[in-house]
Amino acid sequence: MFDAIALLNLPSLVGAASVDFSWLIEKVSLATWETIYMVIISTALAYVMGLPLGVILVITEKGHILENIPLNSILGVIVNVFRSIPFIIFLILVIPLTKLIVGGFIGTVASMVPLTLAAVPFVARLVETSLKEIDWGLIEAALSMGANAWQIITKVLLPEASPSLILGVAITTINLVSYSAMAGIVGGGGLGTLAYYYGYQRYQTLILLITVVILVIMVQGVQVLGDTLAARAVNRRR
Amino acid sequence: MIQIEHLTKIFETPSHQVLALDDVTLSINKGEIFGIIGLSGAGKSTLIRCINMLEKPTQGSIYVDGQQITSLDKRDLRCARQKIGMIFQHFNLLSSRTVFDNILFPLEIAGVPSAQAKSRVNELLDLVGLTDKAGVYPGQLSGGQKQRVGIARALANNPKVLLSDEATSALDPQTTSSILKLLKDINRQLNLTILLITHDMNVIKQVCDRVAVIDNSRIVEIGDVLSVFTNPATPTSHSFINAVVKNDIPEDLTLAKIDPQRHPTRLIRVSFIGSSAGQPIISSMIRRYDIDVNILYGNIDRVKDTPFGNLVLELIGEASLLDEAMAYLRERGLEIEVLKNV
């Protein structure tokens, strides 16, 4: 108990008399906003690319509406390769690309590039799993009515899978919250940067703690929101 | 309306080939309800799915209303499919859409203008008796109601043909009857050709005009339902019919304790179809000839709207009288089979 308090490094926690609370609030709220902003935009961009990719992975499968086995295998391999690279290494690997796209590799905008790219294959697999849960009979019914591939995707696959897709968005967002903290360590901005530079390097444990609490609240919030929206989509049908 | 010519379907698996349909030729007339009956695995499901090309035939051709379905390109096939309605065993309704929007779905696919589509949906809701359920999701409906939605959806684009893939197999007997009645009404009202597959002879008996029996990937018998019921030509048909009609006499009856000392006795089976079922032929026979009649067994059933049945009678009396009595029954159009002659 006392050891635990000692571990918290009390002097720096209180920061002697030097803790300026208005400075702290400003720093923390800026960092929180940066994280939210990074995560939301990266999630959105990841879905812009990952959702179509996931749909393609499903419909080009053997026996599906646009069977294309070579394309399906190639995309499958690419997705797996990207998914097997640890994020911290991926961050460094995409630096040249980041520079090319945003002109630098430090800051919130720059870190959206690795965040988005890392999430795309993940999203694709989540979408694929959600869409595969749909009973083939529904697709067959739509085919029997003369539906084309686009109509089946937009009127059958995506609406029918919506509860599962919503949960996927929540999982992706939560993953990106934690990835964004990692990106923060290499200068990505947001709560990660705050925790690393002030909390870790300058021994301000209070900042470290606040960061953790905010991250926990964020993750909880996203999960609860996701669960609620998914449940609403399901309940509506009962 | 539907012509199937030399249809063969082989499923290729990595290890071997499975022959699902073997040279099937069938012709289904406009406005009739045609049933295909077979055990599971006999190929009936493959057959019905070939008609709208959900399953691609290996060989042979299919014509629906004169159009060769088997040779259409993708775009034309989609158009043709809009005119072939289909209903399914597990309904296959979209759980994310209300009843109204489920019925609207095929109209959206066909690109029918919104106002026109909506009034069509209301017509169909009325037709299947679900107007009050328009805003409800399929999850809240019973099996029978779901199938009514399925039927409304299948009829949305005014199809020429309705394909029914085991549409009543997941329903209880009462619900099955009400769905079959609805199909029969639709068939009459719209003069719609209906092709249905089933493993249940009751379904055939209640609604079909003609039936094909499929066994082991081949059509083994085709005929109008009444003649297949009364005179099944193959063992397969016979076993299907026995499942619903007790046409076979329980064995212990034919071994009945007939006393040969008493009188000449004959055990006969009398089969009757249609109008003769309604006449008091047996009692007039008894009055006319001085014989005794003991009714051992009897049943009466109905195929679509025609009654048919059979009786097992023990006739007791002078041999010459018995011959005359039997001749009398034959004159009245009854079919007679002597089971035992003592």
Give the CATH number, domain containing residue A89: 1.10.3720.10
Chain A to chain B Cβ contacts (< 8 Å): 69
Banded pLDDT at B40 (limits 50, 70, 90) = confident
pLDDT of A187 reads 78
> By CA distance, what is B80's nearest residue in A?
A146
Q: Which residues of B touch A233 (CB under 8 A)?
A: 96
Return d(Cα B204, Cα B107) in angstroms, integer: 31
Of A6-10, A39-43, B74-78, B295-299, minimum mean pLDDT range: A6-10
Does residue B338 or residue B110 have the better pLDDT?
A: B110
Expressed as residue numbers, the domain containing A207 is 18-237
How many CB atoms sit inside 10 A of residue A155's CB? 19
Distance from CA of residue B118 to its chain's centroid? 33
Q: Which residues of A touch B105 (CB under 8 A)?
A: 142, 145, 155
Asked if A62 reaches chain B (Cβ–Cβ under 8 Å), the answer is no
Query: Model confidence over B20-37: pLDDT tens digits?
Result: 899 999 999 999 999 999
Domains contained in chain A, number:
1
Asked if B13 reaches chain A (Cβ–Cβ under 8 Å), the answer is no
Query: Model confidence over B164-221: pLDDT tens digits?
Result: 999 999 899 999 999 999 999 999 999 999 999 999 888 998 899 999 999 889 999 9
Of A7-16, A78-87, B94-103, minimum mean pLDDT range: A7-16
- Look at residue A2 and tell me if it is in a domain: no
pLDDT at residue A11 is higher than 60: no
- Look at residue A4 and tell me if it is in a domain: no
Are B149 and B103 a contacting pair, CB within 8 Å?
A: yes
Q: Are strands B306-316 and B292-303 parallel, antiparallel or unpaired?
A: antiparallel
Return d(Cα A87, Cα B92) in angstroms, integer: 42
Asked if A7 reaches chain B (Cβ–Cβ under 8 Å), the answer is no
CA distances from A174 to A210, A215, B48, B51 (A): 18, 10, 48, 49
pLDDT of B254 reads 56
- Look at residue A174 and tell me if it is in a domain: yes
- Look at residue A7 and tell me if it is in a domain: no
pLDDT of A19 reads 64
pLDDT at residue A15 is higher than 70: no
pLDDT at residue B297 is higher than 90: no
Return d(Cα A184, Cα A194) in angstroms, integer: 8
Computed over every residue of chain B, the mean pLDDT equals 87
Please, which residues have CB within 8 angstroms of residue A23's CB and are 6 or more apart in sequence?
none
Q: What are phi and psi of B101, to 5 degrees?
A: -70, -25
- Look at residue A8 and tell me if it is in a domain: no
Return d(Cα B340, Cα B342) in angstroms, integer: 6
- Enumerate residues 46 to 105 of chain B having a beta carbon within 8 A of any beta carbon in chain A: 52, 54, 77-82, 84, 86, 88, 90, 92-97, 105
- Look at residue A133 and tell me if it is in a domain: yes
Are A124 and A54 a contacting pair, CB within 8 Å?
A: yes
- Look at residue A11 and tell me if it is in a domain: no
Q: Which two tokens stand for residue A23?
A: 């400075």
Q: Which residues of B touch A238 (CB under 8 A)?
A: 137, 139-140
Q: Using CB atoms within 10 Å of the CB of residue B172, give its burial: 0 to 12 exposed, 13 to 18 middle, 19+ buried.
A: exposed
- Look at residue A5 and tell me if it is in a domain: no
End-to-end CA distance of chain A: 50
Distance from CA of residue B282 to its chain's centroid? 32
Q: Which residues of B touch A156 (CB under 8 A)?
A: 94
